[in-house]
A = this chain, B = another copy of it.
């Protein structure tokens, strides 16, 4: 039994409301020895007040030392063991552009490439063709390639990248990449590794054959490679494992998609954090659990811009009072991983996390930050334990055993 087996068994329903505010890449690092992290440098009166009344700690996204991508990072926060539920590249790419991958879908991440006269790859990224040129080509392929017995979707991504989805019952995804990872050779034929994937490989070959005919006159994007054949993992829903009607509020398609994978309702079309809180307020009565995603702490961290990340944290802090007026029974503030400006990248460092609820058993923390959280009452814990803690604090978990 794992923790989700427990919550599946023990959850009960009530009128409580749980809000999980996720500041993407929240955790940071000092830029000089002894200096503050981004969160410690930021002026965060509202988060500090929450830390004072709540309980703090450090969340380990996956395992100590492991740096997560957005997919595993969010699965962990949602309480799904990221080492058990693996999201393949094709599905993640489709999810990232807001394509809802269904149970009968095989999703594939594709690149336009340039083929020379003898059919060998001359440029693996089709000269980094701009999106304005590549998107119509993807659309054209979706409209003109016809493969009997399946539904076909071709979705533009960015520059040379696009996504292909084959939809038909029983398709396997154990198919090797066709990208040879070098130039001067033709794309590989799709090779299947189990019976259910033989048909997928045939479909992929047929797609390729029709596509190169349709692209024959293109100067740059006259070929394509396929990578990361993947099916949606079999993930139980929030309703099943936690008994909550969950809503996801996010600006970026990737996070909407990840939330959809675990059965959350993706609500609203917010463009800013303020608008996300508008959506939250409007949906207050229709849902029990709210995942609210704030992207820009991560973006500025990835830019390597300490000061800009500090500003984003302050912007994030400023919406806390609006959330509090809704009177959530449990409020969690966390991140899916750290993105220290000093590294301009995701990192392995544990993420400052706080939980505020009536019976949370508070600690001595009076500010919200990496160093303070070391002494917090939540200690250091793997992110998958946050959801059970949220449910417990919301009175939504019964006793285990008599």
On A, residues with C-beta under 8 Å from B are 1-3, 5-6, 10, 29-30, 33-34, 37, 53, 58, 62-73, 82-84, 86-87, 89, 92-93, 340, 342-343, 345-349, 359, 361-364, 370-371, 374-377, 379-381, 385, 387-393, 397-402
Contact = CB atoms under 8 A, between A and B. Distances in A.
A362 B33 contact: yes
B69 A399 contact: yes
Contact of A401 (B63, B71, B392): B71
Nearest to A75: B401
Nearest to A63: B3
B63 A402 contact: no
A390 B70 CA distance: 23
Given A1-B84, A342-B359, 14 more contacts: A5-B83, A6-B66, A58-B379, A64-B381, A65-B388, A67-B400, A68-B400, A68-B401, A69-B399, A69-B402, A70-B402, A89-B402, A349-B361, A364-B371
B66 A392 contact: yes
B389 A72 contact: no
Given A58-B379, A83-B1, A359 B29 contact: yes
B361 A400 contact: no
A319 B280 CA distance: 54
Main secondary structure of the interface of A (DSSP, over half): loop
A86 B401 CA distance: 8
B92 A401 contact: yes
Given A359-B340, A388-B64, A374 B375 contact: yes
A3 B371 CA distance: 26
Number of chain copies forming the complex: 2
Contact of A343 (B30, B37, B92, B359): B359
Contact of A402 (B71, B362, B376): B71
Contacts of A73: 401
Nearest to A359: B29
Given A83-B1, A364-B374, A392-B348, A399 B67 contact: yes
Nearest to A376: B374
Give the interface centre of A33, A62, A377 by most chain B CB atoms within 10 Å: A377
A65 B389 contact: yes
A30 B390 CA distance: 19
A79 B325 CA distance: 45
A107 to B, nearest CB: 13
A374 to B, nearest CB: 5
A342 B87 CA distance: 43
17 contacts: A1-B83, A3-B65, A6-B62, A65-B385, A67-B398, A68-B400, A69-B402, A70-B402, A72-B401, A82-B400, A86-B401, A89-B402, A347-B392, A363-B371, A364-B371, A364-B374, A374-B379
